[in-house]
Chains A and B, each alone.
Chain A
Amino acid sequence: MDTMRGDTIGADAPDVAAIAAAHRGSRAALIAILREVQAARGYLPEDALRAVARHTGRSLVDVYAVASFYHSFSLKPRGRHTVCACLGTACHVRGGQQVVEALSRELGVRAGETTPDGEFTLETANCLGACALGPVVVVDGRYFAKVNPGKVRRILSQARSGVAAPEAADGERALVTEAVCPECGRPLLDAARPIDGYPSLQVSAQCNGWRGRARISCVDGVLDGAPENAAALERVRLFCPHCSAGLNDLLRCGECGVPTVSVLAGDGALVQMCGCGEQRVRRAEVEGAGARREIAQLS
């Protein structure tokens, strides 16, 4: 779809009119319309919300209620980079709050605010779905695991010089090139024992009374070395071979519903692995830069 950029928009908001028209001004499409408007303008300014109300035949207060309810909509201009720190339970107990405080000290803004120079928007989330890696900070779609206040400055300077966004987009397949135990930090990838030509993930596994070493293919997530019935990671508990920390996620595979294992790929993408062969990049549900990209790809 053809949407104009934010700066040149007149009072009658032709860009919003075009987006609403593409949805035939449908009342049910409100969220979709707001997402597209935010993608085009970077945020949801007042004139755009008024135009959305006009073109969808809703009252302004309805549109405003939706726009102010969802975390992913922003009524204020956003920074070039989005820094999102997790304050979910798992990250919180490992010091997520201190990480947020360090970030906000470094940037001079509170959570939810944007720096005056328009560089950074600081956000918090209530679980980014990578609890085993906590405290988690996501910068422009790139995951940083096990963050502590001491690492904050380096992450920000990395962000300033532009973190390369993960190569694969949300939902795309990705190849894990680097994986460490979120608990002890020791490497899980073993280049010496490749499967399908790629280093494999070394784990301890436990399943129906059986317990032993196993390897997970980084190509298709299939568990190797466990009894036949465990091959699909189903009902298998996975542990770090070094420190025995649990590696299973709370997340479930979108394809088969089995709990997955999350690891970081070399480029900072969070990859969810499942023995059914699913291996997808999961993007944090932080909008802003990342989401803008994602929407840009859709349209």
Chain B
Amino acid sequence: MIHLTINGLGVSVEEGATLLEAAQSVGFPIPTLCHMEGLSPYGACRLCVVEVGEGARARLVSSCTYPAQEELVVRTASARVLRARRMVIELHLASCPQSKTIQDLASALGVRQQRFRQEQESCILCGRCVRMCAEQMMAGAIGFRGRGQSRSVGTPFDQPSDACRLCGGCLYVCPACELRCTYTEPEKAVCGGCANLQPPCVENGRFDQMMCYMDPCVACEIAAQRR
């Protein structure tokens, strides 16, 4: 067992537990985005930051990947942590304003403004779908491609993958397209999927570019049948 202090409270956890698990075990909430139970920790979104250490040596780490250590002092909601989280989610919100998940997180963290230029990124590179595909579906059909600005998620060579069984797991876990816009004709423009008062799809045209690695896309077919 490892003994650490979270927000002044002594906590004991199993060896190998992460700070996120330790905090959750005693009920301290930490918002997460790229983290998902059943998938390996990835540490991409940085939303789960917490402060470890004391005084001048205190620093921010991502709790979903940071292993609990003996006598570690952790703060999950210091002013510094909250400031960092708000900045992180504001940036995510700017790149993917149509995501209900991100909107909710931003609102819960008290973000009331949008200082960065909005983009209609269909992917925030959280890697959930990639891990889902490889770790739970044992398919490995999609993955990250390229680096930096041109990094994207998809199949090799942008071709339909032999390894894909059209399970739809990637869509299911995606925080950017889970409530994808299903609009196909202008008169049906407001599908409500994004729960936006001003649906971005009306301004930005059809969300063809909403990622979907399946050909044909199961979610779209289902949505079409429902209409």
Contact = CB atoms under 8 A, between A and B. Distances in A.
Interface stretch (B40-48, B91-99, B154-162, B218-226): B154-162
Given A46-B157, A49-B156, A62 B147 contact: no
Contact of A62 (B143, B146, B155): B143
Interface in A148-196: none
B145 A59 contact: no
B146 A61 contact: no
A60 B161 CA distance: 9
Interface string A68-87: 11110000000000000000
Contact of B163 (A49, A59, A70): A59
Interface string A32-70: 000000000000001001000000000111111100111
B140 A61 contact: yes
Given A46-B157, A49-B156, A61 B147 contact: no
B145 A65 contact: yes
Contacts of A46: 157
Contacts of A62: 140, 143
Interface residues of B, number: 14
Contacts of B142: 61
B93 to A, nearest CB: 27
Contacts of A65: 143-145
A64 B147 contact: no
A91 B145 CA distance: 28
Nearest to A112: B150
A60 B145 CA distance: 12
Interface string B128-149: 0000001000001111111100
Contacts of A60: 140, 156, 161, 163
Nearest to A75: B157
Nearest to B150: A68
Contacts of A69: 144, 146-147
A67 B166 CA distance: 25
Given A49-B156, A60-B163, A65-B145, 8 more contacts: A59-B134, A60-B156, A60-B161, A61-B142, A61-B161, A63-B156, A64-B157, A68-B146
22 contacts: A46-B157, A49-B156, A59-B140, A60-B140, A60-B156, A60-B163, A61-B140, A61-B141, A61-B142, A61-B143, A61-B156, A61-B161, A62-B140, A64-B143, A64-B145, A64-B156, A64-B157, A65-B143, A65-B144, A68-B146, A69-B146, A69-B147
